[in-house]
Amino acid sequence: MKRFPKKRVVITGAGSGLGRAMSIEFAKLGWHVCVSDIDMERAKTTETLVSQQGGTPLVIRCDVTQPEQLESLADSLKKQWGGVDIVINNAGVAAAGYMEKIPLKTWDWIITLNLKSVIYGCRAFIPLLEKQGEGHIVNVASNAGIASLPEMSCYNVTKAAVISLSETLKVELNPKNIGVSVVAPTFFKTNLMDQFTSPDPRQREMANAFFDKSKVTSEDVARHVIRAVKSNKLYVITQTDGKFSWFCKRMTPEIYFKVLSWIYRHGLGERYLGMPKTA
């Protein structure tokens, strides 16, 4: 991590799951870690873990749906640390459902939490990184933004947009010496289902089954992210199944969607998860 001698990272949604795991991995490398979350109890637990692992924690409450709170987070880090090296827009939620049955308020909720939050984070921190003349932004998207699995439209849309935003920023911020990475994991077990919502209980069951099948941990994903940031990679595709769908969709997009439609029509997803076919 020679690019970041001051070792300062801020992570939103750091009170749980991937955010907590990244906090701990940075702590092991001796970083200053700003643990930011809306849930202070969870953030405090991460704070303790960061200290135990050799990092220097700083807890700041931030609701990522409020742009002024992200601006105030950036101001606080400027005052307390003199700046920040890596900004990780990680906080997010999940939802599912048939497109036309997902309530509009769920669409608004998930677009705000998964997409607008990243826009707010980038807007708040880019001027600071620009002034410093260096820095790195990591946006946590999902393989959902690439694979476009059925019955997940509201989640897929937000994550695809985060990928597009990150690709754009990769080029736009290059002359300013600011690196950009976008993380696209497939399923791994966290507390993401706590706030999960869907109009049909079957979708919750399916999501739970996907999480239960995953052998990958938040720690695995966190270590992958840190390796990718070290080498200034744009795409952080953390799991083998994600690499496979990313490759197929890029190389043969028409075939990819024909095969996916066939799998869906024949209920092979349910069969893979050991569930009865109902779609």
Ligand X SMILES: NC(=O)c1ccc[n+]([C@@H]2O[C@H](COP(=O)([O-])OP(=O)(O)OC[C@H]3O[C@@H](n4cnc5c(N)ncnc54)[C@H](O)[C@@H]3O)[C@@H](O)[C@H]2O)c1
x/- contact string, 192-211, with ligand X (CB under 6 A)? Answer: x-x-----------------
Among 96, 140, 169, 225, binds ligand X (CB under 6 A): 140
Closest to ligand X by CB, 39 vs 241, is 39
Smallest distance, ligand X to C-beta of residue 206, A: 13
DSSP 192: G
Q: Measuring CA to CA, which residue among 159, 161, 63, 154 is closest to residue 104?
A: 154
Closest to ligand X by CB, 34 vs 140, is 140
Site for ligand X contains 91 (CB under 6 A):
yes
| Side chain identity at residue 169, one-letter code | L
Measure Cα distances from 236 to 103, 140, 188 in Å: 32, 9, 15
Site for ligand X contains 12 (CB under 6 A):
yes
Give every CB contact of residue 262 below 8 A, 6+ residues apart in sequence. Answer: none
Site for ligand X contains 241 (CB under 6 A):
no
Burial class (CB in 10 A: 0-12, 13-18, 19+), 24: buried
Contact 199, 232 (CB under 8 A): no
DSSP 223-261: HHHHHHHHTT-SEE--SHHHHHHHHHHHH-HHHHHHHHH
Among 8, 9, 11, 15, binds ligand X (CB under 6 A): 15
Closest to ligand X by CB, 63 vs 200, is 63
Smallest distance, ligand X to C-beta of residue 67, A: 12
Using CB under 6 A, list all residues that contact ligand X.
Answer: 12-13, 15-19, 37-39, 42, 62-65, 90-92, 113, 140, 142, 185, 187-188, 190-192, 194
